[in-house]
Amino acid sequence: MPKARRYGALVPVLFVGASVATEDPDQLNVLRSVDPLDDTPGIEAPKDPDTWDIRLGLLGAVLPDYLGSDDYKTTLAPYFRVNWKDRIIFSGRSLRGRVLNGGPLSIGPIIRLRGGRDEDDNSDLEGLGDEDKAVEVGAFARYKIGPYRFRMTATQDVASGHEGALVEFGAGLQVPFDRPWFLLMGSASWADQNYTNSYFGVTPTQSQRSGMAPFKATAGVRDVGFTLSSRLPVWREMSLVAVFNYERLLGDAADSPLTEHAGDADQLSASIGLIYRF
């Protein structure tokens, strides 16, 4: 069977597998935490720009019980990444289309899933109810020159999740410059009132059920942080990948009783796993 046809036949299987995997909000949150791998040296470019680039793997992660929590959990998630001609990229939880893809700048639309939050994820969430998964639609822009990476994404939830808007910024540096093993990236994000109220607000009804003080969150900078990611070849097309994230919640995200009294504004997560490149 020709190579292109064989890879084409794999794609429906991968998408079905990914959709099953992402039914779990924890797995969606793991896949969100490894987004920086798309900018890490050796990850973003296909072997041949005229064909398919497919990667499968398994990731283990440690992450907070919920955004703002000081309790942590471990979980496993499958990793799927399909790149078609460096134009359409499906990566774990997002689908991107590169409309402008010449030179160092790439721009295009993005659709992605964001994991929800279950009331039984942590005892501090009792009485607050569940937050549904979000389907975020928007646009992205990425720029790379030499060892530097810049990215921006703006999305709006179009489903029944947080129903808000989120704008994310990132700037990264390959370390070392010549034969990089790591990507160090700083980040910041801004969220509107719908988003911050969904994850950090406490309505009067929720206050009565949970015992937390009512809190109405407003729009503003949600967090700043940094990520260190790496991909190390271990055998033929097999690579070991690792990502460490630190975020500092700010504004109402930090002032919410979910964070200030029940949790912690300092948020850590780490992922490690093996990825095979077809």
- pLDDT score for 39: 67
- pTM summary value: 0.85
Q: Provide the Cα torsion 94, 153, 100, 96; round to 10°.
A: 0
Print the domain residue range for 23: 3-277
The H or E element containing residue 209 is helix 204-210
Q: What is the CATH number of the domain that holds 169?
A: 2.40.160.40
Looking at residue 47, what is its pLDDT?
52
* Domains identified in the chain, total number: 1
User: 28-39 burial, b for 16+ CB within 10 Å, e for fewer?
Assistant: bbbbbbbbbbbb
pLDDT (tens digit, 0 to 9) for every residue of the chain, 278 residues total?
A: 444 444 444 444 444 444 444 456 677 777 777 776 776 655 544 455 557 888 899 999 999 999 999 999 998 888 888 888 888 989 878 899 989 877 789 999 999 998 888 999 899 999 999 999 999 999 999 998 988 999 999 999 999 889 999 999 999 998 887 666 788 999 999 999 999 999 999 999 999 999 999 999 999 999 999 999 988 888 888 989 899 999 999 999 999 999 999 999 999 999 999 999 88
